[in-house]
Structure 1
Amino acid sequence: MSLFDLLSWDAFGSGWFWSLIIVQWVWHGAQVLGVPVDCLQSKDRGQLSTIVKWRVQRRLLAARQAPLAIVAAISFLVSVLLILGFVYHIELCAAASLLIVPELVIFRLGYRTAETISAKRQGPEPSIKDLKKLHLKIYATGAMAIFFAGIFGYGFEVLTQ
């Protein structure tokens, strides 16, 4: 039996999809804008403020320097995945879109939070408060992603058989 045989193209019924979704949300739950969540509880606010400013500037720079061609290509690919997955019922495309779309939502939420922190030029306490709000939004996005993956997975596994 080869490795190719072990990988099931039956996306929602295989372990690879659920393993990826678990790793994805454990990763997002451990850090916010690249700052580990444990650091948000740190007593050293000066060092944390420096890390937050650095990470905010990196996020803003990355988002502002993204060429229009990259944004258009990502939009096109995600649209194709959504259409193939949910209109033409190709299970692998539906599973891939349920992994990718929440990433785009989290990127947008992070960008908006980075803009807020950068525009206000605020001290460490309001920045930490904004990061904690972002962390809760990431958890809510993760819960919705897992919920929809379960619902659509059930639909693909049971209703299309």
Structure 2
Amino acid sequence: MDAFATIFELIDMRSFSNLWFWIVLAVIWSTASHWVLGVPYDMVTRAKRQGGRAMDDLNALVGIYVRRLLYIAREAGAVLVGIVFFALTMLAALGFGYGVELCQALFLLFCPLVLVGALSMRTASRIASRDIRDEALFPVLRWHRFWTQVIGMNAIFITSMWGMFQNLRLGPLAG
């Protein structure tokens, strides 16, 4: 058996029937809902419970990530938006127009993450423009995490439904 056949048998390019795809989907959304604007959510809860030094750390870290996101948006925002939407359009056209299952899977992974990215930019802009700090930061980060989880739950549901449809439509691999 040659190396390419072994690799493709191991990886299985039919994404929706591949266990690795579902593991990646779960890890991506677990990570996205845990890291709120780049800050681990357990740090937010610790700052709310303990205050003091934990609150100072939270303010510092949120400030760093907010300034970082806004700097990236200011310096390369238009180029990044163009590249991201070109890639999503290409994945959608190849996946849903030409039936390439790997592109469908990648589109269903990355399209909702773009929404989370836009939500992050909006939240970062809101924090910076209103100079939100200390106790006022908790509802903003909680709101951001809630909507990230809503987007994630919908993304997982839609991806699961589409994946089951594809698996039922195509059946087992012919061999």
TM-score (norm 2): 0.85
1:61 CA drift (Å): 0.9
Partner of 2:125: 115
SS of alignment partner, residue 76 of structure 2: coil
Q: What value does the CA root-mean-square deviation take over the aligned residues?
A: 1.6
State which of 88, 110, 114 in structure 2 corresponds to 1:78. 88
Offset from partner CA, 1:117-154 (integer Å, 9 cap, x none): 00111231122210111001111111011101111101
Alignment match of 1:158 (pick from 138, 160, 168): 168
Give identity over the alignment, percent: 30
Residue in 1 that maps onto 2:13: 9
Aligned counterparts of 2:33 and 2:80: Cα–Cα separation in 1: 27
The aligned counterpart of 2:143 is 133
Aligned to 1:97: 107
Which of 33, 39, 52 is residue 29 of structure 1 equivalent to?
33
What letter matches 1:24 in structure 2? I
* SS of 1:56 mapped into structure 2: helix
Which residue of the partner structure matches residue 23 of structure 2? 19
Letter in 1 for 2:163: G
2:123 corresponds to which letter in structure 1? T
The residue aligned with 1:142 is 152
SS in 1 for 2:128: helix
Larger Rg, first or second structure (1 or 2): 2
TM superposition score normalised by structure 1:
0.92
- Measure the CA separation in 1 of the matches of 2:134 and 2:116: 22
What amino acid sits opposite 2:138 in the alignment?
I
CA distance in 2, matches of 1:3, 1:84: 23
- How many Å separate the matches in 1 of 2:109 and 2:90? 14
Equivalenced residue count is 161
The whole-number CA distance in structure 2 between the counterparts of 1:84 and 1:51 is 40
Q: Aligned in 2, Cα 1:53/1:69: closer, same or farther, shift over 3 Å? A: closer
- 52-61 or 104-113: which moved more? 52-61
Give, as a single letter, the amino acid of the residue that structure 2 aligns with 1:65.
E
